Amino acid sequence: MPRELLIQVSPEMANNEEMLYQYVSKLVHTSRKDIQKIVVLKRSIDARQKAIKFNLKLNIFFNDEVFSEEKIELPNYPNVTSKQEVIVVGAGPAGLFAALQLIELGLKPIVLERGKDVRGRRRDLKAINVDGIVNADSNYCFGEGGAGTYSDGKLYTRSKKRGDVDRILKLLVAFGATPEILVEAHPHIGTNKLPKIIEDIRDKIIECGGQVLFETRVTDILVKNNEVDGIVTQNGETIHAKKIILATGHSARDIFELLHKKDIFIEAKPFALGVRAEHPQSLIDSIQYSCDFRGEFLPPSPYSIVKQVNGRGMYSFCMCPGGVIAPCATAEGEVVTNGWSPSKRDQATANSGIVVELRLEDFKPFEKFGPLAGMEFQKQIEQKAWQLAGKTQKVPAQRMIDFTQSKVSKDIPKTSYVPGTTSIELGEVFPSFLTQTMREGFAAFGKSMRGYLTNDAILHAPESRTSSPVRIPRDNFTLEHVQIKGLYPCGEGAGYAGGIISAAIDGEKCALKIAETLS
């Protein structure tokens, strides 16, 4: 049996294999030549003290033990060409991993994606960045791979089911992700690497007899006697099925409207909303690492911060070290921000959503919209920001200290947000309770992270698509909709996930439940 060891080492040693072997051999009182292999199981950074350390969990294999490199392979997926069909609406992580699980269980997925494939999406991303043109079906939120493909590829999750998390991570590695994601405390693939992995997943689905249909937007869900019977697409085609996984993501407003129109029960859900703050990465490094220069062995530093302000949580969300801010509108007449990092996280700036928790009572001015009240609250802010910034994809922006002092910034430097910014007093964008909470919150952040509150930080508004403003209720055991048999609300859009990993896990769960009903 290998010997397990928990150690703290310097950043240099953590990045130098021979130094690590020499150090470990001394710790275990043996010669370097007696150690056959050291396997790093987990790695994290401890920056609480001035001397920054890496925490390593290791397995040590000595020469008299058998060691074989773990080979991570895909499951033996069967051919399902002639098997029972299940419609999967949405090709984000929930939909794609649901499709893979269906195949593994001997069922045929028909994946319907309103947007384009990952390569086709690139032209539309260029159009929104450079020309300010929004394709409502193909953008940062919609298209193959979902929102995560071109908006960072973080694999962080709060899921407590480690086995489920490890299964998803291993599947991603089998499809081409770096094995480092199995080790890092905060794994990240990167927007530049995810598209190829997504393509390979799609190719596997098709190779096994499943279908993936792009530019196929669902415009109706057929229901007979409170049971699904199929869907209708935007070109009038009908596809029949008795099982539908609805994995459309948190921005599919037309799906929420369709369900509400058909009297299929949905409900408003609290979410969070705020701004995206951009700092120089060197400044965040100096705050987090307590040094002037982080050196070659430390990665660009992330940060995570949360405060209670006026009885509400205000916190960092989707923090992107060495990253950029992207335009994520899904319709004309609105602006939305998000952030992403390439795999190397080598950009000069760091950005993070800084958002405030909202409550159902905050949506009272929109109560005439019923369960869509939160969505309309969200939509109004995005549309107001668009109008104030000049009715393009430019966003309202303000220097951070200026915002806390209600002062319009005299100038806004060029930021990583390619469409550009317009200097606005951001209090004009948000309701007064939200503005006041953020102003006090940034002051509190500055006390916890010395140097964070600075006019070198630029706030971009709004960060509004943190999670779905609607929940599609489902039975806790069957995972079917509480009213419609055969309909499986799934992932972020239904209110049951919050990121790539949790959405993928939820997709698998729904597929497993469907297989149980058909066995």
Spans of all domains in the chain? 3-62, 85-266+469-518, 270-463
SS3 427: helix
Phi-psi map region of 318: left, alpha, beta (phi>0 left; psi -120 to 50 alpha): left
Instruction: Kindly tell me the burial class for residue 254, based on how many C-beta atoms sit within 10 Å of its own C-beta (0-12, 13-18, 19 or more).
Output: middle
CA distance 31 to 35: 7
| Cβ proximity of 298 and 343 under 8 Å | no
- Element (H or E) spanning 433, and its range? helix 432-448
CATH number for the segment(s) 3-62: 3.30.70.2700
SS3 118: helix
CA distance 208 to 108: 9
**pTM of the model as a whole:** 0.95
CA distance 431 to 273: 11
Q: Which residues contact 145 (CB under 8 A, 6 or more apart)?
A: 91, 92, 93, 96, 118, 194, 195, 198
Phi-psi map region of 391: left, alpha, beta (phi>0 left; psi -120 to 50 alpha): left
Token pair of 438, please? 């953020």
Architecture of the domain made up of 85-266+469-518: 3-Layer(bba) Sandwich (3.50)
Q: Which residues contact 400 (CB under 8 A, 6 or more apart)?
A: 277, 442, 453, 454, 455, 457, 458, 459
Per-residue pLDDT tens digits of the chain, which is 519 residues long: 899 999 999 999 999 999 999 999 999 999 999 999 999 999 999 998 889 999 999 999 999 998 988 899 999 999 999 999 999 999 999 999 999 999 999 999 999 999 999 999 999 999 999 999 999 999 999 999 998 888 667 787 766 666 799 999 999 999 999 999 999 988 988 778 899 999 999 999 999 999 999 999 999 999 999 999 999 999 999 999 999 999 999 999 999 999 999 999 999 999 999 999 999 999 999 999 998 889 899 999 999 999 999 999 999 999 999 999 999 999 999 999 999 988 889 999 999 999 999 999 999 999 999 999 999 999 999 999 999 999 999 999 999 999 999 999 999 999 999 999 999 999 999 999 999 999 999 999 999 999 999 999 999 999 999 999 999 999 999 999 999 999 999 999 999 998 899 999 999 999 999 999 998
Token pair of 491, please? 């992932």
| Cβ proximity of 404 and 354 under 8 Å | no
